[in-house]
Amino acid sequence: MAFDVFISYPHHDKATADAACASLEAAGIRCWIAPRDVAPGADWAASIVDAIDHCRAMVLIFSSSANGSRQIQREVQHAFEQEVPVIPLRIENVAPASSDATAKSHRCSSTLQLGGIIADRLGRAFCIALMSAT
């Protein structure tokens, strides 16, 4: 099954990632999020790579935990290698580490063009998620 968005997050931010996922899905955006969408018995890493390969965009839940996570760095790097747009959703006032791929996502997100309904729904869903988080 194809998904619109892969949600990348460190385990410390699971509650925020789940809330973002619920808001996006309520807006009609199909999300892939671990562990929910990892098939029973499937290889975890292979499932993540496959999901990134088949999504239209990655939403990065960005925090100090994400900034220091090697797994998040690998996911974001893979997204860039596959030319998957990365949309950072910053939940803490922390600057991206200059040497990792998350810094690149912050520079590139302003040029994101998903087009049409998906971009509109994504924007509205982010507004809903941000309003409910405060």
Mean pLDDT of 32-37: 96
CA distance 100 to 27: 31
Band the pLDDT of 96: cuts 50, 70, 90. Answer: confident
Share of the chain above pLDDT 90, in %: 52
- Structural tokens at position 45: 């890493």
What's residue 3's pLDDT?
A: 87
CATH topology of domain 3-133: Rossmann fold (3.40.50)
Q: Residue 96 in contact with residue 103, Cβ under 8 Å?
A: yes
Mean pLDDT of 59-84: 92
Domain positions in the chain: 3-133
**Above 70 in pLDDT, residue 132?**
no
- Asked whether residue 95 carries a pLDDT value surpassing 60, the answer given is yes
